[in-house]
């Protein structure tokens, strides 16, 4: 049976550590390899992408493989053709599938029927590839993950879900601050031992890292006016970063809506690591491909 990465919860603590160790090695050596030589990855994207598409394609090339990009218009997931039939077809042609989809059920169905490894490149419920890059960035800057105090300020979305799952495996201490009604699932908070508060200032005090994401994600445009109203007071400003402390780093998965969830002063300031995160999307994607499709041992 093929192994899939649909969420961080598909990993155990040792496997998460192995992926990060491999990504660190790949980054340090600017690694080029042959793990995917002769292999082809299908990339199904229902949503636009800069970081995810580019890093997955470049990572595939760096490992000797080839990526085929399939956009929503040409594939028509569940419209032109059923997800099950698309999965069954692709599984006969390629060695792996990455999928950036609207609904998590879609990537789950692909995994059920493809017969080859499926990697979740973003769904409405999870964003595991982003969380891996985030953890690598934190480890590089803070020297560890266990005991790192991460304050997340903003929407309880797919990025936060993956961060909470990662915290449960790595020992990070997460405090979440969202408006009422935008909290992540209680079971995710409980599994991570995370704290939920509604005051951003309280959340960031003594934090090692402050993380935010857009208030209006792709597919939520009709909720824009309500969300912009509800999230007033949750902007990461220089004052909020000062409350965290001079040693805290700022993280954002990008793209950013400057002036909404974060100010330009913070995003481009000395505490920001947002472009380190973006770079690390490449190294962690390469590690995932090498382990899941390239046969690299989980011992690293």
User: Which tens digit of pLDDT belongs to each residue from 106-163?
Assistant: 999 999 999 999 999 999 999 999 999 999 999 999 999 999 999 999 999 999 999 9
- For residue 185, is it left (φ>0), alpha (ψ between -120 and 50) or beta? beta
Pair 33, 117 in one domain: yes
Q: Residue 191 burial by CB count (10 A; 0-12/13-18/19+): exposed, middle or buried?
A: middle
Residues 91 and 139 in one domain: no
Indicate whether 40 and 133 sit together in one domain: no
Q: Domain range holding 89?
A: 8-127+281-292
Answer yes or no: is pLDDT of 241 > 60: yes
Residue 160: the pLDDT is: 98
CATH number at residue 17: 3.40.50.1370
Q: How far, CA to CA in Å, does 82 sit from each of 78, 87, 101, 219? A: 4, 9, 14, 21
Q: Which residues contact 66 (CB under 8 A, 6 or more apart)?
A: 39, 40, 41, 60
The pTM of the full predicted model, rounded to 2 decimals, is: 0.96
Give me 42's structure tokens.
């299908």
- Identify whether residues 163 and 215 lie together within a single domain: yes
For residue 240, tell me if it sits in a domain: yes
Identify whether residues 269 and 285 lie together within a single domain.
Answer: no
Whether residue 299 has pLDDT greater than 90: no
Count of structural domains within the chain: 2
Instruction: Supply the pLDDT for residue 218.
Output: 64
Please determine, for residue 96, whether its predicted confidence score (pLDDT) is greater than 70.
Answer: yes
User: Does residue 299 fall inside a structural domain?
Assistant: no
Give alpha helix (H) positions in 12-127.
13-29, 51-62, 72-75, 83-93, 104-114
Whether 272 and 139 map to the same domain: the answer is yes
Distance CA 237, CA 234 (A): 9
- Give the catalytic positions in this structure: 100, 127, 130, 213, 253, 281
Percent of the chain with pLDDT over 70: 99
């Amino acid at each position: 049976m093929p192994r899939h990465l649909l969420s961080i919860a598909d990993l155990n603590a040792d496997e998460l550590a192995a992926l990060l160790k491999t990504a660190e090695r790949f980054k340090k050596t600017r690694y080029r390899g042959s793990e995917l030589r002769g292999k082809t990855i299908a990339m199904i994207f229902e949503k636009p992408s800069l970081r995810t598409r580019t890093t997955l394609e470049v990572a595939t090339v760096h490992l000797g493989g080839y990526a085929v990009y399939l956009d929503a218009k040409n594939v028509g997931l569940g419209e032109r053709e059923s997800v099950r039939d698309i999965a069954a077809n692709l599984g006969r042609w390629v060695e792996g599938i990455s999928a950036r989809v609207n609904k998590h059920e879609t990537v789950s169905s692909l995994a059920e029927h493809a017969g080859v490894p499926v990697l979740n490149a973003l769904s409405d419920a999870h964003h595991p590839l982003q969380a891996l890059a985030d953890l690598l960035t934190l480890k590089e800057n803070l020297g560890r993950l266990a005991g790192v105090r991460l304050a997340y300020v903003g929407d309880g979305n797919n990025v936060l879900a993956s961060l909470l799952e990662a915290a449960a495996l790595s020992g990070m201490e997460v405090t979440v601050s969202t408006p009422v009604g935008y909290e992540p699932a209680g079971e995710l908070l409980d599994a991570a031992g995370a704290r939920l508060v509604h005051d951003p200032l309280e959340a960031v005090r003594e934090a090692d890292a402050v993380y935010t994401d857009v208030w209006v994600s792709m597919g939520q445009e009709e909720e824009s006016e309500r969300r912009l109203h509800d999230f007033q007071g949750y902007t990461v400003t220089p004052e909020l970063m000062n409350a965290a402390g001079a040693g805290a780093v700022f993280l954002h998965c990008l793209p950013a809506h400057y002036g909404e969830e974060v100010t330009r002063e913070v995003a481009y300031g000395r505490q920001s690591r947002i472009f380190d995160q973006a770079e690390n999307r490449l190294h962690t994607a390469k590690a995932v491909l090498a382990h899941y499709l390239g046969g690299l041992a989980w011992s690293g």
